[in-house]
Structure 1
């Protein structure tokens, strides 16, 4: 009698079951969002059909979609809005936001590290950071225009000043929140102040620092319309401002939707970057 050796079943990968469980959840949440969007559009259309407000103030979803398409294409020999396509307006604004947030991060992270570690620096500079954080962008836009003119410089500076305080504040709070036993252990092993800062405090605080940069990016995004109120075309904020002057509410709403959708995409990309660069988040 020949014995046949049975091959044991191959176990599925350890992460296969969680992945299978996640798919229905993702589908459910996606369906819920689509239903919520459909309800919002239906309510919007119902308000327009009821004539609660004049059409010049509240256009229909179809009119906004038409304005969105016209601003994104060449129609009747006219290229987009004010000679630029909607994507070009948005790209210019995103470039300004990227430059402003980049400069703010390059300045705000070292500043926050100094505030969080060196007490005399915190006593002197922390009130200034708080002062800037409480100022709305329009409060200092006029001053920046006086100083730098109406070209790119005041727009970039406004976004830098808007994004820097939350980045510096988040960095300082993150450095101060590093566990004391971790710092003491590094000192016991002979780490000096610079090594302690770069090898212990900075890696431990990096997740919260990136969160501060993400918040600063959001603040810069919300400030771009204010930055582009002066000579802002091309630019999505300048497009909205120009359309407002001529009561083109459909163009204004289309621009707002473009800002919101691009902001959601940018935030999702940044969260993905956080997961890649700081995989140890939450594992302390």
Structure 2
């Protein structure tokens, strides 16, 4: 009752109460949105675990094909520790396998992305270069990694060179294609305005084309990382231990499904972390994306 009396005595008081309520509602809404975004992935993970447990317990599939989650967890612990005098898997702990795989992926992606972005800038800026190289990029993008990995082994041996080369070749086409498309789609009006103000070709590319192409270029980089990750098992077919791909390949030779699943989950979760880091870098480098 006193609130209504105060509002009657001071007409502006109602407006101030309304403003405070309006300010509080967006805050609560943002908080609920964050909780929802955090809860949904956890809920999906829980549902996946329950379905997996029921599938393993149903007896429809042999334990070799669908082991229990607890069995996979035990394999994860074994691969990550020293037990009964055995150190991890094939003498390496899981983090050592993952470190070698990530080192190869990082080297291959760095080479493929740098070459792909530079190639995309040239192809997007010079039409005749695009006409010459675009079919070759399409040809390379259509090839599965195993189609040319054995050729790389013949040429480069079985050490690190063919693995990194394969990952670089897998990462190059997505980065090049995305950058080319972004450069071609750069606003012509802004480029002409920059030239009218006396900007050179290099300045137009640096100050107009590159900033406008950055959002799609980041998309291409994320696709390039995904392609490299999808090729990592093929890259580690030969002499891939230590390495998660080599671990998966070796465990599959002995039908060791729990260890295979441990390797798959290690690749998948590390890929999620790297993609999250790329998203964060994209938000910092291209803060205007989705706002203009």
Q: State TM-score, norm by structure 2.
A: 0.89
Partners of 1:113 and 1:209 lie apart in 2 by 10
Q: Say yes or no: does 1:61 pair with 2:44.
A: no
Q: CA deviation at 1:214?
A: 1.2
Could you list the runs of 5+ residues in structure 2 that have no partner in the other structure?
1-15
Deviations 1:82-119 (A, max 9, x none): 11111111111111111111011221111101111101
Structure 1 residues 17 and 87, CA gap change in structure 2 (3 angstroms): farther
Change (3 A) 1:181 1:37: same
Q: Go from structure 1 to structure 2 and tell me whether the alpha carbon gap of 1:47 and 1:144 turns closer, same or farther (over 3 Å shift).
A: same
Evaluate the alpha carbon distance shift between residue 106 and residue 34 of structure 1 in structure 2; reply closer, same or farther with a 3 A threshold. Answer: closer
Hey, what does 2:12 align to over in structure 1? none
Q: CA deviation at 1:15?
A: 9.1
Mapping for residues 42-53 of structure 1, pairs under 5 Å: 42-53=50-61
What is the correspondence of 1:1-284 to structure 2 with a 5 Å cutoff? Answer: 18-284=26-292
Q: Deviations over 1:124-162 (max 9, x none)?
A: 111111111111101100000000000000000000000
5+ residue gaps, structure 1, are 1-7
CA RMSD of aligned residues (A): 1.9
> Whole-Å Cα distance in 1 between the matches of residues 23 and 204 of structure 2?
37
Change (3 A) 1:161 1:202: same
1:34 Cα deviation after fit: 2.5
Residue by residue over 1:175-198, the C-alpha shift from the partner in whole angstroms, topping out at 9 and shown as x without a partner, is 011111111111111122221111
Bigger-Rg structure (1/2): 2
Measure how far apart 1:257 and its partner are.
0.9
Q: Distance in 2 between matches of 1:107 and 1:250?
A: 38
- Indicate the SS of the match to 2:231: helix
Taking the aligned partners of 2:257 and 2:291, their CA distance within structure 1 comes to 48
Structure 2: distance between partners of 1:147 and 1:16 = 65
CA distance in 1, matches of 2:128, 2:71: 58
> Using the alignment, how far apart are the partners of 2:23 and 2:214 within structure 1?
27
1:32, CA displacement in angstroms? 2.9
Secondary structure of residue in 1 paired with 2:63: coil
CA shift, 1:17, in A, is 6.1
Farther off after superposition, 232-241 or 45-54: 45-54
SS of 1:59 mapped into structure 2:
coil
SS in 1 for 2:158: coil
Q: Hey, what's the Cα distance between the residues in 1 that align with 2:25 and 2:87?
A: 51
Cα separation, partners in 2 of 1:124 and 1:30, compared to 1, 3 Å: same
Structure 1 distance, partners of 2:24, 2:213, is 32
Per the alignment, residue 11 of structure 2 pairs with none
TM-score (norm 1): 0.92
Query: Cα–Cα, structure 1 residues 115 and 38, in superposed 2: closer, same or farther, change >3 Å?
Result: same
